[in-house]
Structure 1
Amino acid sequence: MTCPEGFTSRQWSAYVKRGRDLVQKKTDAQFQLGDLCLEMVPKQRNEFADHGVARVLEAFADQIGLSPRTLTKYRQVAMAWPRDRRAPGVSFSVHMIFAPQPNRFRKILNPPIDPVSGERRWTVNEAERAVGQTPHHPVSREERVNRVRDLLPRHEDAALAVTDMLRRPEVAEQVVADPSARHILHRAEMSRYQQRRDAEPIISEPPPQREPALHYSEAGRELLELLGICTTFYTQMQRVVPSLHVAEYDRKATQTLLDNINRVRAAADWCETVIKTGDTTMDEALAKLLEGET
């Protein structure tokens, strides 16, 4: 038998035996209380109807110092396990886990090997596994993840926990390295973007008065070329940007895009300065930036 640090095997075995004896006494008391409740209020033909069961159990629970819910549980388990079908040495908690199972009488007679003691015996953890529940003390990664899901059924709580976990660099890196996770994040991002757009109020105002567009016959070649570049740029940006899969970009790709956007911004600022001042001089820093030099 595996024992915790600070105990000898003999000491631990003695404590375990005493504990099991106490659990057996508690199990006997729980079944006796359940049988007593069944004696007062026998099994009904239709247990889904009340038949006054709740009223009797509430009064009895109040008189003996237990909650009606506890007594109801004892009665239900005692009803599921007739006296001659209860497994000796198996706790009331395990009987309760198996109570809804149609094959409980056969199943409880075939205990698994306890990974801690090496004995063939039912523990609460093994009983929960046997009926497809997540153990309260998970061992495998799948069980641990399922346990977290059980503990966080509310979306707000789960979102808060995920946000907190993403503050751990190792967790964030593993998440962004998973293509399916990136796809989920991208879909959520696009959905949120669409919701914001749908929520924007529609303002029915007359369109602003615009200056008449410059006719091509009045513009020089260089002006037309510059206008064409600008038009192509913002038209393509309107088409491409909304469909970006940003969540799928790694750090290097993101930085490359940001560097290029910085060059575009610098070029636009330079163009604006030239138009306003007529000075077409390009300083050395700007030239290096546009050439991609660091």
Structure 2
Amino acid sequence: MGDAEFSVRRSLTELAEDIGLKFSTVRNARWAVSRWPEEHRQSGVSFTVHRILGGIEDEEERFTAIRTPPAGKSRWTPDDASRRMGRQVETPVSPQEKISAIHSLAQDDEVAAQVTGDLLRRPKVATKFPAEEKARVVEEFTRDESIAAQAATNLLRRPDVAFKAMSDDGARQQVNHAQVERGRQARAEFEQTHELAPVVKHFERTAEFLDLITACHAFVAKAGRTVPGLCDRRLGAVERDLVHERIAKVRGVLTELRPEFPQVSDLLRGLALADA
């Protein structure tokens, strides 16, 4: 900072202290005065308008502008000057000016959140949102997993919403996967914590074994009724290959069962299916 600039700053500081104003206020006033030589100052036009229009860089344009009020008006107002400079106005009139004012007042996140909540409670406001914008807002509001889960639960309780959601293959697969995983977790928790878990597990193993025995009996009985009817029939090559393929699969199952369930293997061994 040069000596001259330092001297000016000190003088402005002393003046501000003497008249009880901020240094920035005095400095801005000095700048505004410097932008308007006395012969170009307009009587009847406020100092505020002179200060705002002082932002026009080109001198000729600046001096012409202050002598030419907006169309339909006899003189400049601070808001008209702000519009001329593309600044925010004190009293917004157009929709865009009102939007700019709201943005300016809602820069604080808490204020913005409160304003958004209040506006969305107005049905006419909510209905004017485009569908894509509504979806984006919902996505933003549900980034928290707990909130997303609660919102999804509430929405899926609505039959029409659930129906439309399940028409999406990805959503349906995720729901099915979640159901399976939820069942697995519930079963694991039951087995680890419930006192009756060992008894239930024993019953289930018995039931599964009986299901296997029943399946074996059904297979033997069905095959026993079907095979005799094929004895006098000559199978074609395709049919014979298909029968051989199925017999190989049956033998594979027997091979897997034999070490664990010899009694089941013995039961099925009684069925003799000769190669056709």
TM-score (norm: length of structure 2): 0.48
| Rg larger for | 2
TM-score (norm: length of structure 1): 0.45
* Structure with greater helix percent: 2
